[in-house]
């Protein structure tokens, strides 16, 4: 679905990107993020546990909006939608994947890293794009530089965004939200440090756009 109403993204300034190795961590992780004020999460499809983790969060923590990230091919769209994903995120978006995301019954945030890719996705009808990997691809200066030539496209930068630079990204008028793993890094999830995750979520949730 084209993200004409980017509801999942405007709920919070920061979308935690999480990689879950053990399904048992999914619900405490989602609760920890919610306790810190972050009600949107992107669960990456990078582990065998990912889709079961999505199902567990949707069943047990209904106040959290669950996106599925690292969607690489049309079959991932099918699996994510079957698991109940509220929205879909891709790191990059070849044409076949763009079509599958547009045809999906939930909103999508397709990834791009160049002006040409952004234009192709905008022509497809996607008004909000993931800018990935934001840091290596040009970061804040890139987003500033494209604001005038691409006035109708807004971005969710992800990849190299962290607690030190998130505010600089969020200050840009073409940035709707930022994403990143710094709020709930894999080591913190593995260590069961849910209090630390809540503390970082609280700081992230307080950032202003
Ligand atoms: C993503 O998929 O968006 C990234 O892996 C998150 O990047 P980060 O780990 O640099 O925050």
| Distance of alpha carbon 61 from alpha carbon 155, whole angstroms | 27
Helices (H), 104-206: 115-124, 134-137, 139-147, 166-170, 186-190, 194-205
Are 102 and 108 contacting, i.e. CB atoms less than 8 angstroms apart?
yes
List the one residue out of 54, 7, 70, 63 whose CA is nearest residue 36.
63
Question: CATH for 7-205, among 2.30.130.10, 3.20.20.70, 3.60.15.10, 3.40.50.410?
Answer: 3.20.20.70
pLDDT of residue 122 exceeding 90: yes
Q: Is the CB of 159 under 6 A from ligand 1?
A: yes
- State percent of the chain over pLDDT 70: 96
Per residue in 157-200, pLDDT (tens digit) is: 999 999 999 999 999 999 999 999 999 999 999 999 999 999 99
Q: What is the Rg, in whole angstroms, of the alpha carbon atoms belonging to the chain?
A: 16
Supply the pLDDT for residue 7.
Answer: 62
- At residue 10 the predicted structure's pLDDT band, cuts being 50, 70 and 90, is confident
Q: What is the mean pLDDT of residues 147-166?
A: 97
Q: What is the mean pLDDT of residues 151-161?
A: 97
Question: What residue segments make up the domains of the chain, in order of their start?
Answer: 7-205
Give the predicted TM-score (pTM) of the model. 0.95
Per residue in 51-75, pLDDT (tens digit) is: 999 999 999 999 999 999 999 999 9
Candidates 133, 164, 183: which one to mutate for ligand 1, based on the most atoms within 8 Å of Cβ? 133
How many other β-carbons are positioned within 10 Å of the β-carbon of residue 190?
12
- Here the tokens at position 127 are 């008004």
Supply the pLDDT for residue 3.
Answer: 56
Q: Is the CB of 135 under 6 A from ligand 1?
A: no
Ligand 1 atom nearest the C-alpha of 180 is: 11
Candidates 72, 136, 158: which one to mutate for ligand 1, based on the most atoms within 8 Å of Cβ? 158
pLDDT of residue 2 exceeding 70: no
Q: Is 206 helix (H, G, I), strand (E, B) or coil?
A: coil
List the one residue out of 86, 20, 85 whose CA is nearest residue 47.
20
Contacts of 100 (CB under 8 A, 6+ apart): 73, 74, 77
Q: Which of 21, 42, 60, 95 is catalytic?
A: 42
pLDDT of residue 6 exceeding 60: no
Q: Is the CB of 181 under 6 A from ligand 1?
A: yes
Q: Is the CB of 111 under 6 A from ligand 1?
A: no
Contacts of 38 (CB under 8 A, 6+ apart): 12, 14, 15, 16, 183, 201, 204, 205
- Here the tokens at position 68 are 């599925």
Supply the pLDDT for residue 5.
Answer: 53
| Distance of alpha carbon 51 from alpha carbon 33, whole angstroms | 19
Q: What is the DSSP code string of 101-115?
A: HHHSSS-EE-EE-SH
Ligand 1 atom nearest the C-alpha of 179 is: 3
Supply the pLDDT for residue 208.
Answer: 86
Per residue in 69-114, pLDDT (tens digit) is: 999 999 999 999 999 999 999 999 999 999 999 999 999 999 999 9
Supply the pLDDT for residue 184.
Answer: 98
> Which residues on neighbouring strands pair with residue 207, listed in sequence order?
none
Are 67 and 88 contacting, i.e. CB atoms less than 8 angstroms apart?
yes
Q: What is the DSSP code string of 9-24?
A: HHT-SEEEEE--S-GG
Q: What is the mean pLDDT of residues 117-142?
A: 96
- At residue 4 the predicted structure's pLDDT band, cuts being 50, 70 and 90, is low
- Here the tokens at position 122 are 């905008």
**Averaged confidence pLDDT in the chain:** 95
């Amino acid at each position: 679905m084209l993200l004409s109403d980017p509801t999942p993204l405007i709920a919070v300034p920061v979308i935690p990107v999480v990689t879950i190795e053990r399904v048992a961590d999914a619900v405490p992780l989602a609760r920890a993020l919610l306790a810190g004020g972050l009600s949107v999460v992107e669960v990456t499809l990078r582990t065998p546990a990912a889709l079961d983790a999505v199902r567990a969060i949707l069943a047990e923590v209904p106040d959290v909006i669950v996106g599925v990230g690292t969607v690489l091919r049309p079959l991932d769209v099918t699996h994510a939608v079957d698991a109940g994903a509220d929205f879909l995120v891709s790191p990059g978006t070849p044409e076949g994947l763009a079509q599958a995301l547009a045809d999906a019954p939930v909103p999508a945030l397709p990834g791009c890293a160049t002006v040409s890719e952004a234009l192709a996705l905008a022509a497809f009808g996607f008004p909000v794009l993931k800018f990935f990997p934001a840091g290596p691809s040009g970061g804040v200066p890139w987003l500033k530089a494209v604001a005038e030539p691409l006035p109708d496209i807004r971005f969710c930068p992800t990849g190299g965004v962290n607690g030190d630079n998130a505010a600089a990204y969020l200050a840009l008028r073409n940035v709707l939200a930022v994403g990143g793993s710094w709020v709930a890094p894999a080591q913190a999830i593995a260590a069961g440090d849910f209090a630390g995750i809540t503390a970082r979520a609280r700081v992230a949730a307080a950032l202003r756009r």
